[in-house]
Amino acid sequence: MKRSFLFLLFLLLAGFVFSQTDVYTPTLKTPADNAVDQMPNVVLSWSAISGSLNLTYELELDTTAAFNSPLKKDTVMVLITGYKTRNLFFGKDYFWRVRALDNGELSAWTPTRKFAIFNEVALSKPNDNEDDQMPNEAISWKAKVGTDSIKGITHFDYEMDTTNSFSSPLLIAGSVAKNVFSYTPSNLLFNQKYFWRIKARHSQGTSGWSVVRSFTVINKFDLTSPANNATGQDLDVTLKWDAVTGILMYEFQIAEDQTFNTLVYHSEVTTNSADASMLIFGTNYYWRTRAIHAADTSEWTDPWKFTTTDAVKLKSPADAAINVNHKPLFTWFKMGGITEYWFQLADNQSFNTPLYNTVFGDSVTSFQSTKKLNAQSTYYWRMRAVLNNTVNDTTSWGQVFSFTTVNPTGIGNEPASLKVNVYPNPTSGLTTLTLSGKEESLVQMELLNLLGKIIKAETIQITRGENKITLSFNDLSNGVYILRFSLDGKQAFLKLIIDK
């Protein structure tokens, strides 16, 4: 009897157990418990459990751990193990939990987790308390909070002001789209300190303001060229200074005195360089510049001084040169801002009966004598520069160079000769010209077609020895041409074949 009772009891218990369906409790995945700096659209996720096709999950999300505030969200999802939030409040703590429902049976709630939404945007540039910033200095902030990209917002708000209370009449305020992480102002006042801050926003609220940073706009920049106290400057010397962005123009002045009471030149440019004008030879000048935009003008730079040249610099024949060719090539350094050069060659230092008293244009920097000078004789040459325009002026006659021509029986008594070659030949367009001469000379080169018509002509300056020059004939049609070279009344010819 006792055995029968126990067997009956076993059957009843087994029936009860096998008739009940267990619904397991899900496991929460992300965000981790007590996670901070989450986005306002953070995704809540949990692990799936096994169950029927009717399995659903219920999520509770609230700002209180008791899940009883007016902000509570209670959501049921079918077979979905994640939930993307929307417009959660910045700087708020949130609590959440999940349970499963399958065929009318409920699991237990998961343990409650907590997370916090970020409340501050991190600033990028400029760094705090930076000086010498541009009047259009861009402010920028980071696209991430910690390691997470900022999401779930619609805009960033910015404020810039001359006071850290952001309450002055000069306040600059506005918004940029959620995917923009910088703002570029315009016409900030020179030498003014600005404070700035950023916050994030969506349709339900804003984050807290970022930390406040400050920067100061540049007021005085630096001159760069010519160096202070530079000498030997051309009349059209190029003045250069540091660039300033976010401006309309630069104003610059050139004067004969440090107080700029005696102005020589005054103008405006849009680049950070300008060519001087209205200068005369051998004079000290002072110059300065400042920046201008629609709302303000910077302070003048510290003035720098330069001195204009008062002589043409001679090159060759060098002073006291010997064994110089009977028909020398004279060369000198180019000067800017002039209109012409005067050249004199004589057999005495007084230049009272010059062999040459010649005027050259401002672009000429060499001259080959057409007169054959006496052998083993000493000659003297000098130059001066001339300015003929609104300001009429001349340099002094510069340093006198002397030279001695070759001895007819000594080294270098051979007449000038020239060896020429081009390669490759035939050429598809580019070829190398080799000119070998006994002294520095000017060679006249002409390109002729087979009818004798001159197609190109140029003067080539060569030095003693071998000279290599790259020539381009890309603009010529295929065919045969003649190169003619002339020096000291002698000529050399080469056949050139163009084959592209």
* pLDDT, tens digit (0-9, with 9 covering 90-100), for 251-265: 999 999 999 999 999
| Cα 132 from Cα 134, distance rounded (Å) | 7
| Cα 117 from Cα 91, distance rounded (Å) | 5
**Two structure tokens written together for 349:** 């230092």
107 and 67 inside one domain: yes
Number of Cβ atoms within 10 Å of the Cβ of 481:
18
- The DSSP 8-state label assigned to residue 80 in this structure reads -
Q: Considering only CA atoms, give the Rg of the chain.
A: 44
127 and 201 inside one domain: yes
Q: Which of 217, 236, 263 is the last residue of a domain?
A: 217
Let me know if residue 7 belongs to a domain.
no
Let me know if residue 9 belongs to a domain.
no
Starting at the edge strand that comes first in sequence, how are the strands of the sheet with 273-275 ordered? 223-225, 238-241, 273-275
For 115-145, write each residue's pLDDT tens digit: 999 999 999 999 999 999 999 999 999 999 9
List the single range of 18-32, 401-415, 424-438 with lowest mean pLDDT: 401-415
* pLDDT score of 270: 97
204 and 236 inside one domain: no
Query: Which are the contacts of 17, defined by CB distance < 8 A and separation ≥ 6?
Result: none
Contact 384, 398 (CB under 8 A): yes
Higher pLDDT, residue 16 or 487? 487
Let me know if residue 4 belongs to a domain.
no
Let me know if residue 5 belongs to a domain.
no
Q: Which of 378, 405, 432 is the last residue of a domain?
A: 405
Contact 198, 156 (CB under 8 A): yes
pLDDT category of residue 414 using cuts at 50, 70 and 90: very low
Cα 260–Cα 265–Cα 269 angle in degrees, nearest 5: 110
Let me know if residue 21 belongs to a domain.
no
Handedness of CA 43, 49, 54, 58 (dihedral sign): negative
Please provide the distance, in angstroms rounded to a whole number, between the alpha carbons at the two ends of the chain.
Answer: 120
For 387-400, write each residue's pLDDT tens digit: 987 678 999 999 99
For 194-226, write each residue's pLDDT tens digit: 999 999 999 999 999 999 999 999 999 999 999
230 and 250 inside one domain: yes
137 and 200 inside one domain: yes
185 and 246 inside one domain: no
**Two structure tokens written together for 12:** 């009843």
CATH of the domain at 153: 2.60.40.10
| Cα 124 from Cα 318, distance rounded (Å) | 61
| Cα 254 from Cα 381, distance rounded (Å) | 35
What is residue 18's three-state secondary structure? helix
- 31 cis-preceded (ω within 30 degrees of 0): yes
What is the number of domains present in the chain? 5
Residue tagged 């002072």 (tokens): 286
**Two structure tokens written together for 216:** 């100061």
Higher pLDDT, residue 84 or 438? 84
| Cα 172 from Cα 20, distance rounded (Å) | 68
182 and 131 inside one domain: yes
Strand partners for 30: 45
What is residue 151's three-state secondary structure? coil
pLDDT category of residue 408 using cuts at 50, 70 and 90: low
Q: How many residues does the chain have?
A: 500
Starting at the edge strand that comes first in sequence, how are the strands of the sheet with 82-84 ordered? 28-30, 43-46, 82-84
Q: What share of the chain in percent tops pLDDT 70? A: 93
How far are the Cα atoms of 368, 464, 495 from residue 418, in angstroms, in the given order?
A: 16, 10, 16
For residue 20, pLDDT over 60 is answered with: no
213 and 136 inside one domain: yes
Give the domain range for residue 493. 418-498
Number of H helices, E strands in the chain: 1, 44
Number of Cβ atoms within 10 Å of the Cβ of 314:
19
CATH of the domain at 423: 2.60.40.3080
Indicate the average pLDDT of the chain: 90
423 and 463 inside one domain: yes
Contact 424, 497 (CB under 8 A): no
Contact 41, 204 (CB under 8 A): no
| Cα 193 from Cα 79, distance rounded (Å) | 58
| Cα 38 from Cα 111, distance rounded (Å) | 20
**Two structure tokens written together for 97:** 């939990």
Q: Which of 182, 198, 217 is the last residue of a domain?
A: 217
For residue 6, pLDDT over 70 is answered with: no
Let me know if residue 36 belongs to a domain.
yes
Number of Cβ atoms within 10 Å of the Cβ of 304:
21
330 and 347 inside one domain: yes
113 and 56 inside one domain: yes
What is residue 285's three-state secondary structure? strand
Let me know if residue 413 belongs to a domain.
no
For residue 181, pLDDT over 80 is answered with: yes
Let me know if residue 305 belongs to a domain.
no
33 and 85 inside one domain: yes
For residue 3, pLDDT over 50 is answered with: no
* pLDDT score of 462: 83
